[in-house]
Amino acid sequence: MYAALWRILPGPTWVRILQLVALGVVVLISAHLWLFPFIASLVDSGDTGAVNTG
Amino acid sequence: MLGVTAEILVTAGVGVLLYVFWFAVVNPAVVGAGQTATAAQQSRLYSDRLSHAEATPSATPLATATAAPIDVPVAVPVLAEPGRIAAPIAVMYVPRFGADWKRIVRQSTETQVLNSATAGVGHYTGTAMPGGIGNFAIAAHDTGYGNTFLGVGTLKVADRIYLQTDSGWYTYEFRNFQYVQPNAIDVLNAVPTVTTTGTTDRIITLTTCNPPYHSRERMIAYGTFVEFSTAAPTELAPALAQGN
């Protein structure tokens, strides 16, 4: 999987490394801003009707 | 094929670890900072309004509690409960939680309030308002979303809980804890755990999950009303002097 990604990326090694770092940053930011909050909303117990919070 | 499977599993493992790190560290820090900043902003707004109201006394008529306990000599203004979800009710200060700790109490305990970066503490709809006779019951997460009530378990008897509103400062004093099942909604009664409609007590009830990172039970912290004042509490002077 990662080997295939490495092969797909264009340019010399240092350009590929830069692209991987940029890709990693984009994935991390996306996860923190959208993916993890979405997962957290699914994980929430949603214990309404009782004494709320978690 | 085995290599790809291994890479997917390792990636999933790293993803889970990142999620745990986000939930336990990043999210509380980011959301908590937002909650603190918004509370500071709301506090300044209340201070400005109060200064204006004192300059023009007839500008903000308030309802007053109809019966006052013997140990509360002056009439305590009680604001009407807002009907709109997430409407601001008060700014809460608890010095035991930290010198800089402050949060806005908003109407309702829906997740849109408790998980919000502009709130953190929710008021149980239908319970008393600050200074009102009965039980002013509020909720917040202990962990995650600002770690709002993570410090509840550190409260000591007689610790002060301050609520700043448009009309002034309400002071409560922590009395005791109770640990209950999540469905023990009678802790929200006018007299907690007691079925009665007649009371002259003014109580504050803080509810949060227990133990941290779990929601098996609820930790309940009870306090009693001490006083109302239009002047800021001296205990908060250092924090307020730093521009909230």
Give me the mean pLDDT over the B60-83 stretch: 65
Give me the pLDDT at residue B59, please. Answer: 45
Average pLDDT over residues B208-221: 88
Distance CA B204, CA B76 (A): 15
Q: What is the pLDDT of residue B196?
A: 73
pLDDT at B120: 86
Is 0.90 exceeded by the ipTM?
Answer: no
Provide the token pair at B237.
């002077």
B interface with A, Cβ–Cβ below 8 Å:
4, 7-8, 11, 15, 18-19, 22-23, 26-27, 109-111, 114-115, 122, 124, 139-144, 149, 180, 182-185, 187-188, 207-209, 215, 218, 220
Length of chain A: 54
Contacts of B3 (CB under 8 A, 6+ apart): none
Q: What is the DSSP letter of A1?
A: -
Largest CA distance in chain A: 59
The confidence score (pLDDT) of residue B112 equals 87
Contact B209 A40 (CB under 8 A): no
Share of chain B above pLDDT 90, in %: 59
pLDDT tens digits, one per residue of B80-116: 999 899 999 999 999 999 988 999 999 999 888 998 8
Whether pLDDT at B205 is above 80: yes
- Report field, pTM of the whole predicted structure over 0.80: yes
Q: Which of B157, B139, B156 is nearest to B148 (CA)?
A: B139
pLDDT surpasses 90 at A22: yes
Q: Is the pLDDT of residue B244 over 70?
A: no
| Number of inter-chain CB pairs under 8 A, A vs B | 72
Q: Three-state SS for B125?
A: coil
| pLDDT at residue B163, as a whole number | 96
Centre a 10 Å sphere on the Cβ of residue B171 and count the other Cβ atoms it contains: 19
